């Protein structure tokens, strides 16, 4: 397969500032296949992954321009399936190993995140744990499959992973924080770059990157709008906002809101800050949840 050194013009919401993507290796060998992101600004070279239609486009048309469309799928498994289709190899062994490893690495990182966060006295849960808790409940309310719910829970647990690095830097090294500011490298970007180090965690990269984007384009870091924002990033983003508003918001903003006030805020901000569909669903979910279970 003539697969080396294709230049890809990246239109992804994941990596708008990652300007040049090159494939250096032949994809004919699964184990050695390597896709490199090169980001001149942050001076990183990290592996990256292509989605089904991108790989198909490469295979079928031998072309350069790719568009990206993130979905709930586990990208890596998708890619392996595709590669095995192309090269007639059974993916199951590989998939099994990957899934096992994903769980292993995921568990370790999730425990680490909890260790770094402050627990709320009332619920004994930290911000990330509460976001993951509500994400699971909300996904269940929407009738998502068991696999989807598990994936959503895992992604929610990882969504603020970049905060660890930024907060540690704030504590210990002002100069490095200035460096990061110069690069516009805040927790969403730092987190997605960190995850790119472990292929078992690539599935969460787009949510980590885009969970602070707003429906109307006023969010960060890429100022994405509407469906440009990956679905799961919109999904986790609203729960993230809800938890912040009801536990952490300071008087600079509007102070801590009651869950009912937060629901009103969400309704008022449909089509602005929040995806109108997910926002409506989440408001309905919250009403139902609060009528039956305790707010945490
Ligand atoms: Fe965040
Ligand atoms: Fe968060």
Q: Is residue 240's pLDDT more than 90?
A: yes
Residue 33 Cα to ligand 1 middle (Å): 32
Which residues have CB atoms below 5 A from the ion given as ligand 1? 160
Q: Rounded to an integer, what distance in angstroms lies between the CA atom of residue 131 and that of residue 142?
A: 16
Of residues 68 and 122, which shows the higher confidence score? Answer: 122
Residue 199 is given by DSSP the state G
> What phi and psi, each to the nearest 5 degrees, are found at residue 20?
-120, 125
The answer on pLDDT for 91 being more than 60 is no
Q: Across all residues in the chain, what is the average pLDDT?
A: 70
Distance 272 CA to ligand 2 centre (A): 19
Comparing 88-92, 122-126, 226-230, the range with the smallest average pLDDT is 88-92
The residues of the chain that CATH labels 1.10.3210.10 are 99-292
User: In sequence order, what are the residues at sequence separation of 6 or more whose Cβ sits closer than 8 angstroms to the Cβ of residue 250?
Assistant: none
- For 15-18, the CB contacts below 8 A with 24+ separation are 15/39, 15/48, 15/209, 16/222, 17/41, 17/42, 17/184, 17/189, 17/221, 17/222, 18/48
- Residue 221's pLDDT band (boundaries 50, 70, 90)? confident
What pLDDT digit, counting tens, does each position of 55-65 carry? 555 445 433 33
Residue 210 has pLDDT above 70, yes or no: yes
What is the token pair recorded at 292? 């039956």
Tokens representing residue 123 in the block? 């619920």
The ligand with the least distance to the CA atom of 220 is 1
Residue 162, φ and ψ in degrees, nearest 5? -65, -20
Helix (H) / strand (E) element for 98: namely helix 92-116
What local confidence, expressed as pLDDT, does residue 118 receive? 72
Distance from Cα 152 to the centre of ligand 2, integer Å: 14
Question: Considering only CA atoms, which of 56, 3, 46 is closest in space to residue 21?
Answer: 46
CA of 90 from ligand 2 middle (Å) equals 39
The more confident residue out of 136 and 90 is: 136
> Is pLDDT larger for residue 35 or for residue 151?
151
SS3 139: helix
Percent of the chain with pLDDT over 90: 32
Confidence grade of residue 282 (pLDDT, cut at 50, 70, 90): very high
Ligand 2 midpoint to CA 148 (Å): 20
| Protein fold of 99-292 | Hypothetical protein af1432 (1.10.3210)
| pLDDT value, residue 74 | 40
What pLDDT is attached to residue 148? 86
């Amino acid at each position: 397969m003539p697969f080396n050194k294709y230049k890809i013009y990246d239109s992804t919401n994941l990596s708008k500032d990652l300007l040049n993507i090159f494939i250096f290796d032949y994809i004919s060998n699964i184990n050695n296949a390597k896709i490199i992101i090169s980001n001149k600004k942050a001076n990183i070279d990290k592996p990256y992954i292509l989605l089904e239609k991108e790989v198909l486009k490469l295979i079928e048309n031998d072309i350069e321009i790719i568009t990206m469309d993130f979905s709930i799928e586990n990208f890596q498994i998708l890619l392996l399936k595709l590669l095995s289709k192309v090269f007639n190899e059974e993916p199951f062994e590989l998939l099994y190993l990957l899934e096992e490893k994903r769980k292993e690495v995921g568990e370790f990182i999730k425990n680490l995140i909890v260790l770094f966060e402050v627990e709320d006295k009332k619920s004994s849960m930290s911000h990330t744990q509460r976001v993951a808790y509500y994400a699971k409940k909300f996904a269940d309310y929407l009738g998502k499959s068991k696999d989807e719910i598990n994936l959503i829970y895992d992604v929610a647990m990882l969504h603020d992973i970049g905060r660890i690095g930024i907060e540690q830097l704030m504590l210990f090294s002002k100069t490095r924080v200035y460096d990061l500011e110069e690069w516009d490298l805040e927790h969403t970007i730092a987190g997605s770059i960190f995850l790119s180090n472990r292929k078992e965690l690539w599935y969460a990269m787009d949510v980590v990157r885009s969970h602070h984007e707003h429906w109307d384009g006023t969010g960060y870091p890429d100022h994405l709008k509407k469906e440009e924002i990956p679905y799961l990033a919109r999904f986790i983003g609203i729960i993230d906002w809800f938890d912040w508003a009801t536990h952490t918001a300071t008087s600079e903003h509007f102070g801590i809101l009651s869950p009912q006030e937060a629901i009103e805020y969400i309704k008022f901000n449909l089509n602005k800050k929040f995806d109108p569909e997910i926002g409506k669903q989440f408001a309905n979910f919250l009403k139902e949840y609060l009528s039956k279970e305790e707010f945490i």
